[in-house]
Chains A and B, each alone.
Chain A
Amino acid sequence: MSATALLEVEDLSKQFGGFTALDAVSFSVAEGERLGLIGPNGSGKSTLVNCLCGALRHQGGSVRFAGARVDGLPAHQRTRLGMARSFQLPKPFRSLSVAENIRIPLLYTVNARKGAHLDAAALERRCHELLDLVGLAGKAMGRPRDLTQVEMRKLELARAMAAEPTLLIADEAMAGLSHAEVDDILALLHRLNEGGVTIILIEHIMRAVMSFSSRLVVLVAGRKIADGLPADVVRNPDVVKAYLGE
């Protein structure tokens, strides 16, 4: 890999009481990469995302983003540095309109960065560009409760994108969606990646992961058991054993 590492995770560990959710996980993500992160239920994928983004504090190891250590920083500062995430269960701001949902990261992340200041008109324009990008322009004035599941996930992605991240972590953005809807989201993620955004995709739908990822990392019971090209990883005996048993 010629590109420099955007995210470097080293020996990341997390315990909940006596339970070890993450056990010395190390991997790195290069700039512009599309990394798929898979693993059976309860293998620690979401815990890993939460530790990367600052929603949870990890106990050991380090996380470096764009060359600087970010562990210890609160979540909002990591977002401002350029890490954005979507949530596995959509967490829209329910009392705000769809457009206002996008406005929050614009106000608090984009405008909080040095040198950037969007005025009222620019804010409005950005909101609509982003909603257009995910195909929600027609629902801008609606409430999140009026959205369908797939629209809710698109809003989730649009809100993450509004922060203008260099790394997007999509936590099961496609769970429960139909075949066509999955393709919809995949096309969207591809477009973002072509625009220069590095993406970590956490997903159970193997078809989506295989077609999207340029590299796969497999977590099982809090340990990384495989890391490599998707086609090689799925033939790895340890991975097959973890998914199918012996």
Chain B
Amino acid sequence: MRTRTFWLVAILVGAVFFGLSLLAPNQYYFQAGYKVLQYVVLATAWNILGGYTGYVNFGSAAFFALGAYSTVALYKLLPVPLPVLILIGGVVSGVVGLGMGYLTLRLRGAFFSIATLALAVVVQTLITNWDFVGGSRGAYIIPPMRVPILGHYIEYLYLVMVALSVLAIGIARTIERSRLGYGFAAIRDDEQAAEAAGVPTLRLKLVATTLSGALMGMAGAPLPYYVTYLDPASGFNLAYAVNSIAMPLIGGMSFWLGPLIGALFLGSIQEYTTVAFSSSSGLNVLIVGVLLVGFVIVAPNGIIGLFEGLRGRRR
């Protein structure tokens, strides 16, 4: 399928999906759907760096929270419509991604990952001590009750997240089929050989950290309106960092469908357990951990790899 056709199909699927969601009997479905889709964006964003170039980022929560906190900061300064907030959140996290990349990409493997973890701690400390955005007390955001045409604000937020998911998946797929995607794959497989083949590895890795960070920031920007109360403990929650790694791993990191499947699968399970057992995030992290261990042993290439393996055997 050509890239342009894919975009059209993705937008169409997104629109149909949203249209069908409007049949949902109550608002809870939008609440739940928002959360799952938010993970679709996060997982897809993580995979652009982690899956395509092979650099494992443990600091997803920081990029996500930076998007959310740029919304909080702007909310206090001047009234800005949500799409603009999302763009700004994306720019903030993208710039931080670029900076982080520049400082850390000379590190390889586990050392890079440790540096991203350190970044997350630094950013969280800064936000916690920044009184303007609420510091450790947190900040309240009052979303409007209703929006024109759609009605409830949560439906609007949900629509925004559907659009962001389409955007993230479209970008991921476009990269895969482009020169950039081949360059990323070369970096993942062997950086020295990539350089020898003419691939400007540092520049490409910076493109990856920037894009990945920006998409995470965009996923986080609407969060304050969704939760209406944001504090560092929830914005920088461990679940975001763990899930954005676990979902691509469980879904499969080789192409765009993997993070999507992983996010839908894990996100739905987590939402179900949250409601069914009214548990806190503790049980969810446990489930993710168990699934992760299981998949690493049984299907190291994720759900996608499992299906490809079956297809390969039949052939």
User: Measuring CB to CB, which residues of chain A are less than 8 angstroms from any residue of chain B?
Assistant: 53-55, 74-77, 79-80, 84-85, 87, 91-96, 100, 103-105, 107-109, 111-112, 159-160, 162-163
Pair A95/B185 contact, Cβ less than 8 Å? yes
List, in ascending order, chain B residues with CB within 8 A of A160's CB: 196
**Looking at the complex, which one of A53, A85, A93, A162 makes contact with B186 (CB distance below 8 Å)?**
A93
Which residues 20-68 of B have a CB within 8 angstroms of A?
none
Would you give the 0/1 interface string for B192-204, flagging 1 where the beta carbon is closer than 8 Å to chain A?
1111111111100
In the complex where A104-B182, A104-B183 touch, is A163 in contact with B197 (Cβ < 8 A)? yes
**Looking at the complex, which one of A55, A74, A84, A94 makes contact with B200 (CB distance below 8 Å)?**
A74
List, in ascending order, chain A residues with CB within 8 A of B131's CB: none
**Looking at the complex, which one of B182, B192, B202 makes contact with A107 (CB distance below 8 Å)?**
B182
Nearest-neighbour CB distance to chain A for B192, whole angstroms, equals: 6
List, in ascending order, chain B residues with CB within 8 A of A108's CB: 179, 182-183, 186, 197-200
* Cα–Cα distance between A109 and B192 once the two chains are bound (Å): 15
Nearest-neighbour CB distance to chain B for A76, whole angstroms, equals: 5
**Residue among B183, B193, B198, B200 having the largest count of chain A Cβ atoms under 10 Å:** B198
**Looking at the complex, which one of A76, A107, A162 makes contact with B201 (CB distance below 8 Å)?**
A76
Nearest-neighbour CB distance to chain A for B38, whole angstroms, equals: 29
Nearest-neighbour CB distance to chain B for A53, whole angstroms, equals: 7
Nearest-neighbour CB distance to chain A for B56, whole angstroms, equals: 16
Pair A74/B182 contact, Cβ less than 8 Å? no
Can you name 13 A-B residue pairings with CB atoms under 8 Å? A74-B195, A76-B197, A76-B198, A79-B196, A85-B196, A93-B185, A95-B189, A95-B254, A100-B185, A104-B194, A107-B182, A107-B183, A108-B198
Question: Nearest CB to that of B188 among chain A residues?
Answer: A95
Pair A100/B198 contact, Cβ less than 8 Å? no
Interface residues on B, range: 20 to 34
Pair A92/B193 contact, Cβ less than 8 Å? yes
Pair B182/A54 contact, Cβ less than 8 Å? no
In the complex where A104-B186, A107-B182, A107-B183 touch, is A91 in contact with B198 (Cβ < 8 A)? no
List, in ascending order, chain A residues with CB within 8 A of B183's CB: 104, 107-108
Pair A93/B198 contact, Cβ less than 8 Å? no
Pair A109/B195 contact, Cβ less than 8 Å? no
* Cα–Cα distance between A100 and B186 once the two chains are bound (Å): 10
Pair A105/B188 contact, Cβ less than 8 Å? no
Nearest-neighbour CB distance to chain A for B207, whole angstroms, equals: 13
List, in ascending order, chain B residues with CB within 8 A of A54's CB: 195
Pair A79/B192 contact, Cβ less than 8 Å? no
Which residues 171-186 of B have a CB within 8 angstroms of A?
179, 182-183, 185-186
Q: 20 extra interchain contacts, Cβ-Cβ under 8 A, other than A76-B200, A100-B185?
A: A53-B196, A55-B196, A74-B202, A75-B195, A75-B196, A76-B194, A76-B197, A79-B197, A87-B196, A93-B190, A95-B188, A96-B189, A105-B197, A107-B179, A108-B179, A108-B183, A108-B198, A108-B199, A159-B197, A162-B197
